[in-house]
Amino acid sequence: MKEKLSNEIFLKPEVRKVSARLIFFALTLSLHISSYSQINCSTPPEPPLLKSVSVQPETGKTDIIWTPSPSSDIAAYILYTYVDGAGILPDTIWDPAATSYTLTSTVTKYFSASYVMTSMRIPRCTSKFSNVQSTIFEQTSIDTCNNKMSVTWNSYSSIPIKVTGYSLLVSVNGSSFTEAATVSSDKNNFTLSNFITNAGYCFVVKANLEDGTFSTSNKSCLSTKMQKPPLWINTDQVTVNTANKISLTYSIDPLSEISHFRLERRSGPSGVFKSIALPVSVNGKVKFTDVQANIDTINYYRLSAINNCDNPLMVSDIASNIVLSLEKTGNNLNFSWNSLKKFPDHLLSGKIYINSGTGFEEKSSINQGDTTITMDYNQIMYEITDKEVCFYISASETSNPYGVTEESHSSRICTLPMEIITVPNVFTPNSGTVNAFFRPVLSFTPKNYHFVITNRQGKVMFETNDYLSVWDGIQNGTPQVQDVFLWYLKVVTPSGKSISKTGTVTIINSR
């Protein structure tokens, strides 16, 4: 009991100074009264019987009730705060007929206070201390993780009136106190489950006594306000970035009060999600780059908003990175990929991009719902200027309820160009047909090109470094007669190969 009093005194420096002076005065007065009684009281009076002490929950004041001393000539009753066998801070009730008194001290808001009384004759002849009675001090704590509130209190004395049990009184949002539970007299705690969130709760404990009376505790209150979880989490993108790492972006409900999240990943269509990060939202966005994931594997992700108890309150849709595959069949490039994610109401649109040596550019669009596309190599072969040609696809939502328009990119896939050289062996100048001109047919754009045509005597008939230039069978304005001519070709391919070829071509006049 002394420890509790000390704790309260040391809570506030200004209280500590005042209380120290009062305690010193009270101890001096107590010793004086005791000494005076011993000297002047030959037959001290009997003490009163302290029946109950009860806290007024709203004010913190304490109502004291007692049975008067059976002795005669009682002039007053003295009420003491009882600490470690000593009476301090006395209040004197100068009414011998009184049986109750309200103590204005509100220390019972902070701890259980114990009291004793004496009866007094004039001049200063006091009785021994009465029985001790202590107020009920209750405390409340909340466990939002498990949705529980705990109320604890100290036991109330069953002397002189037996305690038959305790009632727990509850007020929600300022409503009248109602009985929420009763427990037996040997209990001093109760757990309230499934409380209302974002509400104010106040509690009072009532000790029910055998004679029908009761003693109430202090009032303690707490708020069940909890962080507002997001009503939605949108996966904005799961994209393979230029560093070949998977970058993820999420948009969070702006009304959410939760800022901590758990990101989980599952590799493959089955298995268990495992936590890979605990990101924090910034300005309604969660961004994370997964440097551990294999971009050639379909990885599935989900983001959960977590409370202070590490419990998920809201989980995003499941989304995955896009893995692009390529298979060549003759002159066809066959692409296939997995769906980014499935939205019954928000279909995906996509595009295919190509880097033929000068950077990625959009090549064609992808229909909603498609996961394959075939491209004719002949459509791109003259665009290729590097040792490899690379592709990726993008996907975005055509309609998003949260206004998100970000794209997700697949992994990049590259292939060597088809470096094919075809040289005709006959052509017909002035025929007005596709065979009216002669040049090598390349499946690529060469880095270097040199083409020479001579007659059988070695005279140069045509020479060029432009792979698109053609010979029309004319030399210095003179059409050549039907004959066999020699050619020489040297090219450097986009992949860096140097190729030299020779052969013959026959002119067949159409006239």
Which tens digit of pLDDT belongs to each residue from 180-230?
999 999 999 999 988 888 899 999 999 999 999 999 999 999 999 888 899
Q: ∠341-345-348 over CA atoms, to 5°?
A: 45
- Residue of 237, 138, 221, 210 lying closest to 177 (CA atoms): 221
pLDDT value of residue 1? 32
Strand partners, 93: 77
| The three-state (H, E, C) secondary structure of 319-374, written as one string | EECCCEEEEEECCEEEEEECCCCCCCCCCEEEEEEEECCCCCEEEEEECCCCCEEE
pLDDT value of residue 380? 87
pLDDT value of residue 6? 32
| 107 SS3 class | helix
pLDDT at 92 over 70: yes
pLDDT at 9 over 70: no
Q: By percentage, how much of the chain surpasses pLDDT 70?
A: 90
pLDDT value of residue 341? 61
pLDDT value of residue 246? 97
Domains and CATH numbers, the chain: 2-49+70-103+111-131 (no CATH), 138-223 (2.60.40.10), 237-318 (2.60.40.10), 322-417 (2.60.40.2060), 421-507 (2.60.40.1220)
- Residue of 273, 302, 288, 304 lying closest to 239 (CA atoms): 288
Q: What is the pTM of this model?
A: 0.61
pLDDT value of residue 362? 93
Q: How confident is the model at residue 12 (pLDDT cuts 50, 70, 90)?
A: very low
Instruction: Summarize the confidence of residues 18-33 as an average pLDDT.
Output: 40
Lowest mean pLDDT among 105-109, 167-171, 206-210: 105-109
Instruction: Summarize the confidence of residues 445-467 as an average pLDDT.
Output: 94
pLDDT tens profile 30-42:
443 443 334 357 8
Q: What is the CA radius of gyration of the chain?
A: 48
Measured in whole angstroms, the distance separating CA 324 from the mean position of its chain's CA atoms is 31
pLDDT at 298 over 60: yes
pLDDT value of residue 361? 93
pLDDT value of residue 195? 87
pLDDT at 303 over 90: yes
Q: By percentage, how much of the chain surpasses pLDDT 90?
A: 66
pLDDT value of residue 420? 85
pLDDT value of residue 308? 81
Inter-residue contact 426 to 435 (CB < 8 Å): yes
The one-letter code for the residue type at 162 is K
pLDDT tens profile 242-279:
999 999 999 999 999 999 999 999 998 888 999 999 99
Which token pair is 69?
A: 């001393």
H or E element: which one contains 285?
strand 285-290
Question: Taking the CA of residue 274 as centre, how many other CA atoms within 13 Å lie in the half-sphere pointing to its CB?
Answer: 10
pLDDT tens profile 304-361:
999 888 889 899 999 999 999 999 998 899 999 987 665 444 556 789 999 988 899 9
Q: 428 to each of 87, 435, 457, 504, how far by Cα in Å? A: 131, 6, 21, 14
**Cα 444 from Cα 418, distance rounded (Å):** 7
DSSP 294-316: -TTS-EEEEEEEE-TTS-EEEEP
**Cα 376 from Cα 223, distance rounded (Å):** 68
Q: What is the mean pLDDT of the chain?
A: 87
Lowest mean pLDDT among 7-11, 193-197, 231-235, 407-411: 7-11
- Residue of 215, 292, 168 lying closest to 56 (CA atoms): 215
**Cα 317 from Cα 337, distance rounded (Å):** 20
pLDDT value of residue 132? 97
pLDDT value of residue 344? 45
Of 405 and 91, more confident: 91
